[in-house]
């Protein structure tokens, strides 16, 4: 198994002992993204601003791996309030045009740094 650590300065640095993403063969596993920017600022004005920053972070990780949103095969969305589902879903949908990935969305009691949304993805080249 060849494991390659993916790191880009265009996405926020990890806030713990984990990698931004790991490539194994043609499969990319991206760590969960919250609304941090590259300077470590947390964009938590609204669930919409959080989701937009999260999707931007995912985009940068995909780009660093030579991929796009079309390469995503699985997404996991974690929300602290399922009432935010429609707003998150609307912004999430803007990143895909067809061939949507498999996905689950679950409500959790808390996320790092008080985030309201965290999204992780798996993509294949």
Question: How far is Cα 55 from Cα 52, in angstroms, rounded to an integer?
Answer: 5
Question: How far is Cα 65 from Cα 22, in angstroms, rounded to an integer?
Answer: 9
Taking only the tens place, the pLDDT of each residue in 26-55 is 999 999 999 999 999 999 999 999 999 999
Look up the pTM and report it: 0.96
* Chunked mean pLDDT (size 10), the chain, 125 residues: 94 95 98 96 95 98 97 98 98 94 98 97 97
State how far the alpha carbon of 65 is from the alpha carbons of 23, 57, 79, 89, 107, in Å.
8, 13, 26, 25, 29
DSSP symbol at 101: P
Specify the pLDDT at position 43.
92
Q: Which run of H or E residues covers position 95?
A: none
Q: Which of 57, 22, 16 is CA-nearest to residue 39?
A: 57
Q: With contact defined as beta carbons under 8 Å apart, do 42 and 113 qualify?
A: yes
Which tokens in the block code for residue 93? 């949908």
Specify the pLDDT at position 89.
97
Specify the pLDDT at position 123.
98
Specify the pLDDT at position 1.
77
Q: With contact defined as beta carbons under 8 Å apart, do 103 and 73 qualify?
A: no
Specify the pLDDT at position 57.
98
Quickly name the fold that domain 3-124 has. 60s Ribosomal Protein L30; Chain: A; (3.30.1330)
Which tokens in the block code for residue 113? 């740094």
């Amino acid at each position: 198994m060849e494991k390659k650590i993916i790191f880009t300065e265009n996405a926020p640095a990890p806030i713990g002992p984990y990698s931004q993403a790991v490539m194994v063969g043609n499969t990319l596993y991206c760590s969960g993204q919250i609304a941090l920017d590259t300077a470590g600022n947390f964009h938590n004005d609204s669930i919409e601003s959080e989701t937009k920053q999260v999707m931007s972070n995912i985009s940068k990780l995909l780009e660093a791996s030579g991929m796009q949103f079309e390469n995503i095969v699985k997404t996991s969305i974690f929300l602290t309030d399922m009432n935010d589902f429609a707003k998150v879903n609307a912004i999430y949908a803007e990143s895909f045009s067809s061939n949507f990935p498999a996905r689950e969305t679950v409500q959790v009691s808390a996320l790092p740094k008080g985030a309201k949304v965290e999204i992780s993805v798996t993509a294949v080249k």
